[in-house]
């Protein structure tokens, strides 16, 4: 196979061992002679995968007994609706830090009263708003910890006087998280922990049942906690691959270990962006994401953008085109991306500078 370095924003790069084990299971699931695509989700063998996957989530993130984790379909975008359905009674506040945060807010506004407590749109979402006061009369504060499109990240678990809800689609399992600080953490698997087709939701059990509306069965988190994510047919294959991805993460030392590597990767790339005269980063330095690194050509060198794309492509760089709302480049350096991948991109940037200067 051609040697490439994959920096796709999502679906993301997955560890090779997870892919190899998935290929095996497509042919023969756990020695049953049946493909994982055809296995009944009501078998002992499937139960083992579900239980292992749930246990790995709890172990890797240190999820306390107060919380349960569920796996559902529908994407993170449907979770925006779940959040409002299950938690919005009178009023909710959203930190508007990007396209996804804004979409989450908009979905809540279709259900009840929700507003942006602070917003960084004035500077094209290149920073995380700070210093805003959180009122105590709201049902919850919703944050998006990593803004996949703009490359900004809230890297610490904030202290919040009201229930805290976080979309962690693109930085889950990239760093340790104090789960006890959140009533709900959710996200799509396809940015860091698995393939598309499954979401995770880590729910404080006693935070549910506080709204007065009727919640449709499928949209009620309690349904899925009660039935251990098996109320209806779960996204079997996606969960299988997610489980393999988490087994890999555990094998290399878990979240603490990957966090160190992730910081090393981010430093390596940001240092090159800051050093290299042809490129500049787009996000405020203190808010830079460890997962999605956004940069553009430096002033005066804008004309070289297409040439750099071609140059990088020739050297095996895949998926470094920035989102259309930022332009330039975005390298997503999720868990499965290695130091070697990042070094290859850095070398490529250096080489290009030498060629042009």
Ligand X SMILES: *Cc1c(COP(=O)(O)O)cnc(C)c1O
The residues that touch ligand X, with contacts defined as CB under 6 A, are 10, 75-77, 100, 144, 148, 167, 169-170, 188, 191
Question: Which residues contact residue 215 at a Cβ distance below 8 angstroms, ignoring those fewer than 6 apart?
Answer: 85, 86
Closer to ligand X by Cβ: residue 72 or 278 = 72
Closest distance to ligand X from the beta carbon of 278 (Å): 28
CA-wise closest residue to 200 among 215, 221, 174, 176:
221
Respond yes or no: is residue 47 known to be catalytic. no
Nearest CB to ligand X, comparing residues 57 and 279: 57
Q: What angle do CA 271, 273, 275 make, to 5 degrees?
A: 65
Q: Which of 96, 139, 191, 341 is catalytic?
A: 191
Rounded least distance, CB 235 to ligand X, Å? 12
Q: Which of 167, 183, 287, 341 is catalytic?
A: 167
Longest dimension (CA), the chain: 65
- Comparison of 194 and 254: residue with beta carbon closer to ligand X: 194
- Known catalytic membership, residue 191: yes
Give 315 or 323: the residue with its C-beta nearer to ligand X.
Answer: 323
CA 258 to CA 249: how far, in whole Å? 8
List phi, psi (to 5°) of 52: -65, -45
The one catalytic residue in 57, 100, 248, 287 is 100
Task: State the nearest-atom distance from the C-beta of 251 to ligand X, in Å.
Answer: 26
Count of beta carbons in the 10 Å neighbourhood of residue 71: 24
Backbone phi, psi, residue 270, to 5°: -65, -40
Quick check: is 100 catalytic? yes
- Cis, peptide link before residue 11, omega less than 30° from 0: yes
Rounded to a whole number of angstroms, the minimum distance from the CB of residue 167 to ligand X is: 5
Residues noted as catalytic: 100, 167, 191
């Amino acid at each position: 196979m051609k040697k490439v370095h994959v920096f796709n924003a999502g679906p993301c790069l997955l560890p090779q061992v997870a892919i190899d084990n998935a290929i095996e299971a497509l042919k023969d699931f756990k020695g049953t002679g049946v493909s994982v695509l055809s296995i009944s989700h009501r078998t002992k063998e499937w139960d083992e995968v579900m239980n292992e996957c749930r246990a790995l989530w709890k172990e890797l993130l240190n999820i306390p007994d107060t919380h349960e984790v569920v796996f559902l379909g529908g994407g993170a975008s449907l979770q925006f609706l779940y959040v409002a359905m299950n938690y919005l009674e009178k009023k909710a506040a959203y930190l508007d830090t990007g396209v996804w945060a804004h979409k989450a807010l908009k979905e809540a506004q279709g259900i009840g009263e929700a507003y942006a407590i602070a917003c960084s749109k004035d500077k094209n979402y290149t920073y995380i708003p700070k210093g805003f006061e959180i009122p105590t009369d709201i049902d919850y504060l919703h944050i998006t910890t990593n803004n996949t499109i703009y490359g900004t990240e809230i890297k610490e678990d904030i202290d919040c006087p009201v229930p805290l809800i976080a979309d962690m689609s693109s930085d889950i399992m990239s760093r340790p998280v104090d789960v006890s600080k959140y009533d709900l953490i959710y996200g799509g698997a396809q940015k860091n922990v698995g393939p598309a087709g499954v979401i995770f939701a880590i729910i404080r059990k006693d935070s549910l049942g506080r709204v007065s509306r009727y919640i449709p069965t499928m949209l009620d988190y309690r349904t899925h906690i009660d039935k251990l994510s098996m109320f209806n047919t779960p996204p079997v294959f996606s969960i299988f691959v997610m489980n393999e991805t988490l087994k890999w993460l555990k094998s290399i030392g878990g979240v603490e270990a990957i966090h160190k590597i992730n910081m090393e990767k981010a430093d390596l790339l940001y240092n090159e962006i800051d050093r290299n005269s042809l490129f500049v980063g787009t996000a405020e330095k203190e808010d830079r994401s460890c997962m999605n690194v956004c940069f553009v050509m430096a002033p005066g060198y804008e004309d070289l953008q297409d040439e750099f794309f071609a140059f990088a492509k020739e050297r095996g760089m895949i998926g470094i085109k920035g989102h259309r709302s930022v332009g330039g480049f975005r390298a997503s350096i999720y868990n499965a991306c290695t130091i070697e991948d990042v070094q290859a991109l850095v070398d490529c940037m250096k080489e290009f500078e030498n060629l042009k200067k």
